[in-house]
Amino acid sequence: MSVVIQTSGLGKRYRRTWALRDCTLAIPEGRVVGLVGPNGAGKTTLLRLAAGLLAPTCGTISVLGQRPAAGPAQLARVGFVAQDTPVYARMSVADHLRLGAWLNPAWDDELARRRIAQLGLDPKQRAGSLSGGQRAQLALTLALAKRPELLILDEPVASLDPLARREFLRGLMESVAEHGVSVVLSSHLVADLERVCDYLVVLVASRVRVAGEVSALLASHCRLSGPRRDPGALPAGVEIVEESHTDKQSLLLVRTDQPIHDPSWTITPVSMEDLVIGYMSRARDDRTHRLQAVS
Amino acid sequence: MIRLSALQFRAQAATAAVALAVFAVILAVSGPHLLGLYDSSGVAACQAHGDCLPLASSFVNKLGGFYTVFYFIGIGFLLLVPAAIGTFWAAPLLAREFEAGTFQLAWTQSVTRTRWLAAKLGVGALAAVATAGLFSLLLTWWSGPIDTAAPFAKRNSITFLRLGYVLFPTRGIAPLGYAAFAFALGVTAGVLIRRTVPAMAATLATFLFIQIAWAIWVRPHLILPARTFVALTAANIPNAELAVGPGGSTIIVPNLPSMTGDWILSTQNIDPAGHPFNVATVKACQGNISQACSNTLSSLHLRAVIAYQPASRFWALQWYETGIFLAAALLLAGFCLWSIRSRHLNG
């Protein structure tokens, strides 16, 4: 399996606070990867490091086998859509396409024009007067027409209304299908990722909590409910991700590589959202425990 | 990348072009008449005979309100151009990219940020220098007759000296250096402050401070001032003036037509032993130069020591000053490049 982003012990510090710390991960090629985690997990920092907008404080990162922003050739292979999809407010849509054509050797002008036409954008309109959804689409068009091997999107739909969000993601998926580009997409909205991602990375407090194919993750996790009992009594190979107990009942989210035959458990499949929230709350509990241990 | 910089710069370029065009039309229409007045005034030839005062005065007095007013408008305009370039062109250039987040769009195209900044700086600085240069060329040409005649007509006014605080920075090639420097200063402020309006304010304040401080403290000493010793005699004392000298003493300043156009930096009176002399110690000289005062002073064999920059050094001083401001602009541009490559990469 070839990787598009590989990091090892990656850290980024702003003055005295660490935005990302000791992050080690490998993101495979040819997938639509959802990077999900709570606010402050380091998603934006990680993606900016991958785009070469930031330099790491420590550790290493390689993108498509090279240091990010190592030179024009490396820059040409990576497309980036920043948070809030910034574009030049005073420049027209057509000017943005010219910008793309001038600054990118592999620019696909036909693709850019077709997308702008499909979106119904007026090329003469100034980007500053576009709606949030249109602006995001323009930014995506610029990134796609660059014909990158890897497309990185940082919370591209966070500020869009549900309809614009759906259209943006649909446009993204069509292009992915057409050009076979690898995508890394961050979001804290699991519902969006569920629609488009086939690979999931859950990042909490700089740490990768779980990573893998969405279908494999969903198959290997399940929710168990039954009469209250000691979670330690579960068979070997079953790992508890999240647990909650009432006086009479136990509710578990587990990862298992084997079927569970105990008839006293009611087994239900998990959704992506269950999975993500399970891992996020486990990370929070870990931290709470650690803090308690320290104090 | 150069094409993009030019595209993003076109609004500013259009403003400058319109201002230049208006300026050029006004000067081109009125300039020939001004030159005609000058040619018929005889000021051009009088310097050989030393009888310029009446001719120059008559020429200056004959100038109508328009020429007098526009002469000062031109000066004000040329003083403003570099400051405006730094404030309105340069400061927002990068600050706006940081403020709006568009640097993330620019830096993820297939162009290194070194080239991105080099193109932005190159196009902007070229436009800044060209604008200031054209304004200065036009104004230096148009004002030439008045600049030449006024020091003879208004002998004691530093306002009309080519080397003075007002004319020097608005003539010749000095505005080119200021424009390049103001541009680099504005870009630097944008890189450091990363917000448009504060960067503009910082640029304007810093540039004005540097320009004023430079004129007062640095320009007089760019070239070691020349010194001349003038014997104070019964011939020149009655035409001299009393002034405040070093340490609050009173000095007597001779009136020297041969030094018309020279920038006099300081005058001191010394006695035959070379010690500073305070005219206030002579009772007869309190208040004004009376006959008794003149008689007493001329018997003391005093001399006036005058430190000055000769008018002939105008171009030498212009070149030095322009060179220094261009070098400072290059240093600031180097800092911006270093900062964008390393500092912003890191945070």
Report CB contact under 8 Å: A99, B345.
Answer: no
Residue of B nearest to A53 (CA): B345
Check whether residue B145 and residue B210 sit in a common domain: yes
> Which residue segment(s) compose the domain that B270 sits in?
226-310
- Position A292 scores a pLDDT of 67
- Position A2 scores a pLDDT of 87
Check whether residue A194 and residue A243 sit in a common domain: no
Check whether residue A93 and residue A227 sit in a common domain: no
Residue A139: inside a domain, yes or no? Answer: yes
- Position B344 scores a pLDDT of 55
Check whether residue B68 and residue B145 sit in a common domain: yes
Q: Is the pLDDT of residue A295 over 60?
A: no
Query: Is B18 in the A-facing interface, judged by CB distances under 8 Å?
Result: no
- Position B329 scores a pLDDT of 98
> Which residue segment(s) compose the domain that A225 sits in?
220-294
- Position B180 scores a pLDDT of 98
Q: What angle do CA A80, A82, A83 make, to 5 degrees?
A: 150
Check whether residue B32 and residue B139 sit in a common domain: yes
pLDDT in tens, B139-185: 999 999 999 998 888 776 778 899 999 999 999 999 999 999 999 99
Q: Which residues between 84 and 123 in chain B have a beta carbon less than 8 angstroms from any beta carbon of chain A?
A: 100-102, 104-105, 107-113
Check whether residue B147 and residue B248 sit in a common domain: no
Mean pLDDT of all residues in chain A? 90
Check whether residue A148 and residue A286 sit in a common domain: no
Q: Which residues 6+ apart lie within 8 Å of A22 measured at CB?
A: A9, A10, A11, A59, A206, A207
The residue from A181, A205, A229 where one domain ends is A205
Q: B108 CA to chain A: closest CA distance, Å?
A: 6
Query: Is B1 in the A-facing interface, judged by CB distances under 8 Å?
Result: yes
The residue from A163, A180, A205 where one domain ends is A205
Side chain identity, residue B43: V
Picking from B100, B109, B112, the nearest residue to A104 by CB comes out as: B109
Check whether residue B302 and residue B159 sit in a common domain: no
Query: Which tokens is B317 given?
Result: 């001083």
Q: How far, in Å, are A93, A135, A143, A240 from residue A165 at the CA level?
A: 20, 12, 17, 34
Mean pLDDT throughout A184-194? 86
Residue of A nearest to B345 (CA): A54
Check whether residue B181 and residue B329 sit in a common domain: yes
Residue A148: inside a domain, yes or no? Answer: yes
Q: How many domains does chain B have?
A: 2
Check whether residue A8 and residue A150 sit in a common domain: yes
pLDDT in tens, B181-217: 999 999 999 999 999 999 999 999 999 999 999 999 9
Residue with tokens 């020939």: B32
Residue A214: inside a domain, yes or no? Answer: no
Residue A150: inside a domain, yes or no? Answer: yes
Q: Edge-to-edge, what's the strand order for the sheet holding A150-154?
A: A78-81, A150-154, A182-187, A32-36, A199-204, A207-213
Range of weakest confidence among A28-42, A197-211, A235-249, B131-145: A235-249
Check whether residue B251 and residue B199 sit in a common domain: no
- Position B181 scores a pLDDT of 98
Q: How many domains does chain A have?
A: 2
Q: Is the pLDDT of residue B345 over 60?
A: no
Range of weakest confidence among A28-42, A92-106, B151-165: B151-165
Picking from B3, B107, B345, the nearest residue to A55 by CB comes out as: B345
| DSSP codes of every residue in B273-323 | TS-B--GGGSGGGSSS--HHHHHHHHTTT-EEEEEEE-GGGHHHHHHHHHH
Range of weakest confidence among A12-16, A249-253, B284-288: B284-288
Chain A residues with beta carbon closer than 8 angstroms to that of B112: 69, 71-72, 75
Check whether residue A153 and residue A257 sit in a common domain: no
pLDDT in tens, B276-315: 999 888 888 887 888 888 888 889 999 999 999 999 999 9
- Position B54 scores a pLDDT of 87
Mean pLDDT throughout B212-240? 93
Residue B347's pLDDT band, with cuts at 50, 70 and 90, is: very low
Which CATH number belongs to the domain containing residue A89 in this structure?
A: 3.40.50.300
Residue A294's pLDDT band, with cuts at 50, 70 and 90, is: low
Residue of B nearest to A99 (CA): B4
How many alpha carbons fall within 13 Å on the CB side of residue B323?
7
Report CB contact under 8 Å: A79, B108.
Answer: yes
Range of weakest confidence among A33-42, A74-83, A147-156, B101-110: A33-42
> Distance between CA B153 and CA B54 in Å, rounded?
7
Residue A282: inside a domain, yes or no? Answer: yes
Query: Is B8 in the A-facing interface, judged by CB distances under 8 Å?
Result: yes
Check whether residue B34 and residue B84 sit in a common domain: yes
Mean pLDDT of all residues in chain B? 91
